[in-house]
Structure 1
C-alpha cells in the first residue's frame, strides 16, 4: 500500500481500518482506491467484490434489461429511483463500465433518452426541461462510470455555454435552437427558476464537480471561463455560511437551507458544505484561505474516532440503505476523508 499519513494529522483518530472492514465491500473498495491507494492486485479484487456483492449489485439488480429503472423514458421520475438517479448513484458507488456490461447499457440508455441533439440533459427530453444540477450530475456520473461516448463531450461543452451565455440566445428569442427558457434554465451565471432566476449554488456545485473531474486536455477555453465563473460565484460568500440566493418557500425565512449543514450519502439534488468544498478542492482551491472556515466546519463534525455521522438520508427513497441518521457512517466519513486528503494538494 502506497498510503501517506501526513494529511491525517487533522483527524482525531484514523478511521481507515473501520472503512476497510470486509463486511462492507462497497466502502472497502473506495477506501482502498481513494484513501489507501492500494496496489493493483488488491484493488482489483476489491473492485470485483464490490460489483458482485455490494450495493452496486443491488442497484443493477433493479435495472431492466433495456437499461432503465422503474419505467422507460428520461428517468428523472420517480425520485430517487428513476434511471437518471440510479446512474448517479452507481457512479457514487464506484461502478464502472468495464466491470459489468449492464452499466454500459444504462449509460447508453441515458444518452439516448435524456440528451438532446445539442447536449442538454433533460427531465422530459426537451431542452426546456433542462436542469443545471441534473446536467452537472449526469456529466460527472457518466464520466466516472467510464463513458467515452462523444455525445458526452458535446454535453460538457454545452454546459459551459449555459454558464457563460456564449452562443445561447435569451429566452425571448424563440426562433433559435439554443436559448434560455422561462423555467429553470433561464439565464447564464447559474440562474435558475428554482432560485427565482438568481444563481443557484446547488447547480453551480454539481457543474463545478463535473468540470473538476474532466481531464485537463478536454478543458477548452470556454470550459475554463465557465470554471472561473463558478469559482467566483461559490467564493462570493463564505462557503461555511452558504449564504447564497435562496429559492421560493411557502414559509420564507430568508436564510439558507439547513440541508447545507447536513452531510449525507448519496448526494442527489441537494448539495452540502462538504460537496462545495469537494468541488472547489478538485479545481485546485483546497488551500485557498477562503475555504478555511468550511474545512474547519467539516473537521468539527468528526467524533473522537475520526468518524462522521449520517445527517441527510435517502433511506426508503432510493435503492439500498446506507445507514441510520445520527450514527457514525462509513459513506459520509469516506466523503469527508476524500476532501481532507484533496486539500493537501494530493489527488
Structure 2
C-alpha cells in the first residue's frame, strides 16, 4: 500500500517483495486492472486495516490507512470512476448491494470501510450516502441486489427482496455517520 512491500523497513538491505496474487505494485496497482490502482483491492485492504484496534496501529498501518482512504476519497464513491484498466465504465457491481461480499465490492462496502475509519462526516461521502438512502424502501429496508446464490453451499436470502443483511450493513453506516435511521 505504501510502497514498502512486505520487507521490513528497518532492514535496509532486505529486498522489497510484493505478493504475486493480484497485487502488482504499491498504491493498489492490480494486474486484473491493467496494473492501475484497483478500488476493489483498496476497499478490501482498508477493511482489513480498519479491524486493527486504533491503540495497536503502527506508523506503517496509519500511513497505509491514510493512503488508502485518500485514494478511495479521491473520486466520488457514488460514481465509482476509479481507474478502470480494461473497462470503459465502472462495474455495475459497485451499485448493487448484496451479502455476502466476496471479491467484488460495492458503494455500501466502501461506505462501511470509510465510516469505520472515522470519515463518516467527510463531505466527499455525501453523494454516496445519498445513493445509499435512495435505495431504502418505505419500511426502511434495503434490497438484496447482488448475490452469490447458487455459488455457495447455502443460499442467502433472495435477489430483489428486502435483505436483513444489506439493511444491517446500511444501518451501521448511517449510525456511524450519526444520520437518522
Query: Normalised by the size of structure 1, how large is the TM-score?
Result: 0.48
Contact 1:308 1:329 in 2 (8 A): yes
Structure 2: segments with no counterpart, 5+ residues: 8-13
TM-score normalized by structure 2? 0.89
| Displacement after TM superposition at 1:198 (Å) | 0.7
User: 1:265 and 1:182 mapped to 2: Cα distance?
Assistant: 28
Answering whether residue 14 of structure 2 is matched by residue 180 of structure 1, we say: no
Point out the structure with max Rg over C-alpha: 1
User: Could you say which residue in structure 2 is the equivalent of 1:326?
Assistant: 160
Which of the two has greater helix per residue?
A: 1
Q: 1:201 corresponds to which residue?
A: 39
In the TM superposition, residue 207 of structure 1 has moved relative to its aligned partner by: 1.1
Q: Distance in 2 between matches of 1:167 and 1:183?
A: 13
**1:250-295 Cα distance to aligned partner (Å, 9 max, x none):** xx4x110011000000001000000001100011000110000100
1:224 paired residue number:
62
1:214 paired with 2:52, answer yes
Paired residues of 1:265 and 1:332 also in contact (CA < 8 A) = yes
Aligned pairs for 1:230-269 (under 5 A) are: 230-248=68-86, 252=87, 254-269=88-103
**What is the distance in 2 between the residues matched to 1:310 and 1:266?**
10
Contact 1:182–1:193, Cα closer than 8 Å, also in 2: no
**Aligned length in residues:** 173
Contact 1:262 1:311 in 2 (8 A): yes
Matched, 1:292 2:134: no
Q: CA deviation at 1:166?
A: 2.0
Query: What secondary structure does 1:222 align onto?
Result: helix
**Is the counterpart of residue 344 in structure 1 residue 178 in structure 2?**
yes
The answer to whether 1:280 aligns with 2:79 is no
Give, in whole Å, the separation in 1 of the partners of 2:53 and 2:15: 29
Residues 231 and 280, structure 1, Cα contact 8 Å, conserved in 2: yes
1:172 alignment counterpart:
none
Q: Is the 8 A contact 2:4 2:16 kept in 1?
A: no
Note the aligned Cα RMSD (angstroms). Answer: 1.8
Once the 2 structures are TM-superposed, how far is the Cα of residue 236 of structure 1 from its aligned partner?
Answer: 0.9
